[in-house]
């Protein structure tokens, strides 16, 4: 089978590998669609602390069950499924406290390798985070389950009201998924802070109440203008830059919430204004990854057809042309590309 390997920063290699055989409690998935993700682009450009190279990669995918292990009973060969690449162990300290996103062995069983014709899905993913794909849901949109799970996990930590004004900083795939999810959850006013005109157009098409075409640091005046001078009830940072984390705090109203969603490079630090945190009682949340509960919410939302998830897929490429998709993303072109092995 064909699989793309990341050999080192900037080095992709399409290789011919043997089709994997599943263990008794595993399945081998035939990938039907995989999606590019900002994390993959970052790994391609400068490596990833959790993915030592050479590595297979691609973590947003959906497909059909090609072979199932002898002990697997919940799916059959030929079943069309959608899934996320990790599952909790169920037995550690964090799993017992429903903080499965922090499960101590989460990363060890990360099912990377969506950029390939086949990959092995571990037992714990099959047990908790794998679902039947409805026939009506296109494959590329089914592969949005992973990023949408992260988004739903973050939103689960917040208190939302229909009359809230939310501000999303950034209109990459994650910012736009937040916009879609907030609208689907009934939040009527969602503004998007974005300077890239192409992405602003997509945000508008996806139902943004308005575009604030400024940097996060310069957006405060316009946010105050649309919130009767108070600041936003909810601010969601989706750029993964420390300076934007700091700026996000100044867009929230007293008593408001700030979700710092984008993971910054490790070792970076931020400084927060103590007045805003204490006297203005701005609440900061910094969600990481997802729990099975969030995956279920994301699944329900995707299959409900309530979100225009097709607008996030900017094009389709065969496996061998993955570098073209990365080149476009690097130029700020498009949101996500579907890779069809
Ligand atoms: Zn991703
Ligand atoms: Zn665990």
Using the structure block, give the residue that is written with the tokens 């995956």: 295
Q: What is the pTM assigned to this prediction?
A: 0.96
SS3 call for 187: coil
Per-residue pLDDT, 41: 93
Contact 53, 93 (CB under 8 A): no
Q: Which ligand approaches the C-alpha of residue 34 most closely?
A: 1
Q: DSSP letter string over 114-144? A: -SBSEEEE-HHHHHHSEEEPPTTS-HHHHTT
> How many whole angstroms from 283 Cα to the centroid of ligand 1?
26
Per-residue pLDDT, 223: 98
Q: Which ligand approaches the C-alpha of residue 292 most closely?
A: 2
> How many whole angstroms from 227 Cα to the centroid of ligand 2?
42
> How many whole angstroms from 98 Cα to the centroid of ligand 2?
9
Q: DSSP letter string over 212-270? A: E-S-GGG-HHHHHHTTTTS-EEEEEE-S--HHHHHHHGGGEEEEEEEEE-SPPPTT---
Burial of 94 by CB count in 10 Å (0-12 exposed, 13-18 middle, 19+ buried)?
middle
> How many whole angstroms from 59 Cα to the centroid of ligand 2?
20
Below-70 pLDDT ranges, the chain: none
> How many whole angstroms from 211 Cα to the centroid of ligand 1?
25
Per-residue pLDDT, 145: 98
Using the structure block, give the residue that is written with the tokens 């494959």: 139
Closest to 118 in 3D by CA, of 50, 43, 21: 21
DSSP lists the bridge partners of residue 231 as none
> How many whole angstroms from 122 Cα to the centroid of ligand 2?
14
Per-residue pLDDT, 137: 96
> How many whole angstroms from 102 Cα to the centroid of ligand 2?
7
Per-residue pLDDT, 270: 97
> How many whole angstroms from 192 Cα to the centroid of ligand 2?
36
> How many whole angstroms from 97 Cα to the centroid of ligand 2?
9
CA atoms within a 13 Å half-sphere pointing along the CA-CB vector of 138: 13
198 sits in which H/E element: helix 197-205
> How many whole angstroms from 105 Cα to the centroid of ligand 2?
6
Buried b (16+ CB within 10 A) or exposed e, 237-256: bbbbbbebbbbbbbbbbeeb
Q: Are strands 232-237 and 252-260 parallel, antiparallel or unpaired?
A: parallel
Token pair for residue 182?
């907030």
Q: How many helices (H) and strands (E) does the chain have?
A: 12, 16
Report how far residue 333's alpha carbon sits from residue 326's, in angstroms, rounded to the nearest whole number. 10
Report how far residue 114's alpha carbon sits from residue 32's, in angstroms, rounded to the nearest whole number. 9
> How many whole angstroms from 89 Cα to the centroid of ligand 1?
21
Per-residue pLDDT, 113: 96
> How many whole angstroms from 125 Cα to the centroid of ligand 2?
12
> How many whole angstroms from 60 Cα to the centroid of ligand 1?
6
Report how far residue 12's alpha carbon sits from residue 20's, in angstroms, rounded to the nearest whole number. 21
> How many whole angstroms from 262 Cα to the centroid of ligand 1?
11
> How many whole angstroms from 305 Cα to the centroid of ligand 2?
32
Per-residue pLDDT, 49: 79
> How many whole angstroms from 88 Cα to the centroid of ligand 2?
5
> How many whole angstroms from 174 Cα to the centroid of ligand 1?
9
> How many whole angstroms from 147 Cα to the centroid of ligand 1?
5
The DSSP letter of residue 172 is S
Spatial CB neighbours of 97, under 8 Å, sequence gap ≥ 6: none
Q: Are strands 61-68 and 27-35 parallel, antiparallel or unpaired?
A: antiparallel
Q: Answer positive or negative: Cα dihedral of 194, 199, 201, 206.
A: negative
SS3 call for 112: coil
């Amino acid at each position: 089978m064909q699989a793309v390997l990341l050999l080192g920063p900037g080095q992709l290699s399409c290789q011919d590998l043997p089709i994997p055989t599943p263990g008794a409690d595993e399945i081998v998935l035939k990938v039907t669609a995989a999606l590019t993700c900002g994390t993959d682009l970052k790994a391609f450009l400068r490596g990833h602390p959790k993915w030592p190279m050479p590595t297979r990669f691609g973590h947003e995918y959906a497909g059909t069950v090609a072979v199932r292990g002898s002990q697997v009973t919940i799916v059959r060969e030929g079943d069309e499924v959608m899934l996320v690449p990790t599952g909790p162990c169920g037995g550690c300290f964090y799993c017992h406290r429903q903080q499965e996103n922090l499960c101590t062995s989460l990363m060890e069983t990360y099912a990377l390798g969506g950029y390939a014709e086949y990959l092995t899905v571990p037992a714990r993913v099959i047990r908790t985070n794998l679902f039947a794909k409805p026939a009506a849901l296109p494959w590329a949109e089914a592969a949005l389950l992973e990023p949408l799970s992260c988004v739903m996990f973050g939103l689960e930590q917040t208190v939302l009201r229909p009359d809230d004004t939310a501000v999303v900083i950034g209109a990459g795939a994650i910012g736009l998924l937040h916009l879609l999810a907030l609208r689907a959850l009934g939040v009527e006013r969602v503004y998007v802070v974005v300077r890239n005109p192409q992405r602003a157009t997509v945000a508008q098409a996806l139902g943004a109440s308005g575009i604030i075409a400024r940097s996060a640091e310069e957006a405060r005046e316009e946010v105050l203008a649309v919130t009767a001078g108070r600041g936003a009830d909810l601010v969601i940072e989706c750029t993964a830059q420390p300076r934007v984390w700091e700026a996000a705090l100044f867009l929230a109203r007293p008593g408001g919430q700030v979700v710092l969603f984008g993971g910054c490079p490790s070792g970076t630090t931020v400084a927060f204004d103590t007045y805003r945190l204490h006297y203005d009682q701005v609440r900061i949340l910094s969600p990481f990854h997802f729990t099975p509960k969030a995956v279920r919410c994301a699944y329900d939302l995707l299959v409900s057809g309530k979100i225009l998830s097709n607008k996030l897929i900017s094009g389709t490429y065969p496996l061998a042309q993955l570098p073209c998709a990365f080149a476009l993303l690097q130029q700020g072109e498009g949101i996500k590309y579907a890779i069809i092995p």
